[in-house]
Amino acid sequence: MRTIKGPAIFLAQFAGDKAPFNSFDAICGWAANYGYKGVQIPTWVTSLIDLEKAATSKTYADELTGTAAKHGLEITELSTHLQGQLVAAHPVYDTMLDGFAPPAVHNNPKARQEWAVQQLHWAAKASKNLGLTEHATFSGALAWPFLYPFPQRPAGLVEEAFDELARRWTPILNAFDENGVDVGYELHPGEDLFDGVTFEMFLDRVKNHPRANILYDPSHMVLQQLDYLDFIDIYHERIKLFHVKDAEFNPTGRQGVYSGYQSWINRAGRFRSLGDGQVDFASIFSKMAQYDFAGWAVLEWECAIKHPEDGAREGAEFIRNHIIHVTEHAFDDFASAGTDLAANRKILGLS
């Protein structure tokens, strides 16, 4: 067994126009001050990283690594959540999703999708240049608008959506394979890959591609009322990344999983700062240790109530206190009789 690495922090929810959140150097200093040991970089935030340059210049990639190291940090993974969403986007979301891409490809879904694919290819090369072995992303969604089976879905509709999703992602997965990097899809409502069943549907279509893996985030499973502990038992071999994010689900006589179109503060299911929700992290960290998870425990802060600075400060301590320093020997080794084959046969009455 290995001890999980951490605590680390996903910078997406903290990056901004004001110091210390407007440059990679400054935000690394901010994160280190709270006790983080790693940072996960959102590649669409150009003030933190030039993705194309990181893909094409080992010197620049080394500079990024050096900047993090100056603050006692490691870069844990790169993230292309927004770009991954655009690899497969149903037209109903075109207007809203234009904001995920540069103005040059707005109102042009084909150009926007091509831009997103290029971003993923750069992310694969940039990850290699940075010495990373995992990558975080979304799958995108073609079938999501048809989640609820009414009106009745035409036969083959969902199957064709997943066939197309696989056609679009297979060359990208191959590119990551060429660079020695695992892709971790964050299973998330709004994506076609949002639970175990949909991940299996996709995995079957990409022929069990070795680079098609999972970013485990229990908060999204709480909101779906999915057994997030059993999920680890089932899929631990494919779990390559870990977002430590809390959530709560409090249904009432007025709303449940779908939450009546309410804002985050008024939803039955909502994200919370670490320790303020319902996720059983003690059991999660135990299972991660049991299954020899080799990656980082990365805080993703999203809370409709608490201030982000408090969430970041408390999150580092929370993760640090939950990481299990795994044992190197069995607790009952002191009682070992040091037997051998002959002794074992004697004990069994076979000698």
Q: How confident is the model at residue 327 (pLDDT cuts 50, 70, 90)?
A: confident
What is the sign of the dihedral through the CA atoms of 102, 104, 109 and 113?
negative
Q: pLDDT (tens digit, 9 = 90+) per residue, 213-233?
A: 999 999 999 999 999 999 999
Matching residue, tokens 């074992």: 344
Query: Considering the entire predicted model, what is its pTM?
Result: 0.95
Q: Per residue, what are the HEC states of 239-299?
A: EEEEEECEEEECCCCCCCCCHHHCCHHHCCEEEECCCCCCCCHHHHHHHHHHCCCCCEEEE
Q: What pLDDT score was predicted for residue 335?
A: 64
Q: What is the CA radius of gyration of the chain?
A: 22
Matching residue, tokens 């485990």: 216
Which residues form the domain of 153? 5-347
Matching residue, tokens 């969902």: 158
Mean of per-residue pLDDT scores for the chain: 96
Distance of alpha carbon 76 from alpha carbon 6, whole angstroms: 9
| pLDDT over 70 (residue 334) | no
CATH number where 224 lies: 3.20.20.150
Query: Hey, is 332 helix, strand or coil?
Result: coil
Q: What backbone phi and psi angles, to 5 degrees, belong to 194? A: -125, -10
Q: pLDDT (tens digit, 9 = 90+) per residue, 36-86?
A: 999 999 999 999 999 999 999 999 999 999 999 999 999 999 999 999 999
Q: pLDDT (tens digit, 9 = 90+) per residue, 119-150?
A: 999 999 999 999 999 999 999 999 999 999 99
Q: What is the mean pLDDT of residues 174-185?
A: 98
Quote the number of domains for the chain: 1
Q: What backbone phi and psi angles, to 5 degrees, belong to 8? A: -125, 170
Q: What pLDDT score was predicted for residue 314?
A: 98
